[in-house]
Structure 1
Amino acid sequence: MRMLLLAIFAFCAHALQAQTTLKGTVKDPDNNLVPGASVMISKTKVTVTNEKGEFIFTGLAAGKQVITISFMGFETSTRTISLKDGETRVVNVALVSSAETLQHVEITGRKESGYKNTNSFIGTKTATPLKDVPQSVSYVTKEMIQDQQAMRIGDLVKNMSGINQHTTYDDLDIRGFRTQNNSRYRW
């Protein structure tokens, strides 16, 4: 029994001693800390840097590990490091800025202030003149909504062709297909 306890104690002591740790900080090219950067080690463990740009991994296996740091607006940094059993390694990383462009956003307004609309985004995802849209489109302008003081869907669809209201609970027929009231879609 005594030998068994001694063996368990020796195993636990070795396991505690073999605690390999990797920690460090992530900075930008101007030497500012980068909070929220993603840090991944050997595609198995992932963490995010804290408000001081620091990260820490504990309980790592000894040997070669690949550390990958990424953050929006910076190039991804990858390093291969060799860890020894029981070692605490500090790795400080300075990210390099990258010039990434996102899709452009186009904001379009209309100068009309009446009930007539000349363009539609329905069916084409671009501002297309209504006469060129390849399908039948109905619309209600903000001026019509304000003038009629429309508060419910039923108040709006009475101006649209192909839509009939069955009850006051917004049960609608849209070109032959019936929709039923669903309180999640109330305005």
Structure 2
Amino acid sequence: MIEAEVKVRADHEKIMQALKSRKNCSFEFVRTEHQKDIYFNAPDRDFAETDEALRIRSVNGAGEITYKGKRFDTLSKTRPEFNSPADEDSMTQILLALGYRISGKVEKTRNVFTFSDDTGRMIFCFDRIESLGDFLEIEIDLEDGSSGEEIRASTEKIFRILREFGISEKDSVRTSYLELVMNAENGSHSDDP
């Protein structure tokens, strides 16, 4: 699967109210997730340098392992992504035994909504990270093998919605939550390295 994704700092209430009052669309609450992420680095390369990510995520107690490949562009977080259910403790022990190292942990509360209009469906994730504040991730799932044009069109569709809230491409945060947490712990407050 390819996930066209854009992350921005955002005022949750302002955006939710605007979407709820919008005509000719559907904006529906799906669920609240309490996510605990453990990120790993490979024994043979540095994922920060190769623009990859490997994590085990626990959502309300259920585990999943995710690998994210290199990003497709410089504006969004769009990249290939592969997920599989996994027991958090067992998978952590397997990865550590194979030489992977824990590179950091992130905990957040995510409120997930679906948004649909005449242009299609998007997933809105309103994230709160205690040490960082509020973010919004908007995602469009694409099929593996989607063309560059399909990926660009999906990313542009996301930015078109964001512009309605005064958020532009320059506000896109490509830095991962892990990097943001690590930067905050080290005294740096940059959203992009």
Q: Give TM-score scaled by structure 2 length.
A: 0.19
Give 1 or 2: higher strand fraction: 2
Q: Give TM-score scaled by structure 1 length.
A: 0.20
Please tell me whether Structure 1 or Structure 2 has the larger radius of gyration of its CA atoms: 1
Give 1 or 2: higher helix fraction: 2
- RCO (CA 8 Å, sep 6+): is it higher in 1 or 2? 2
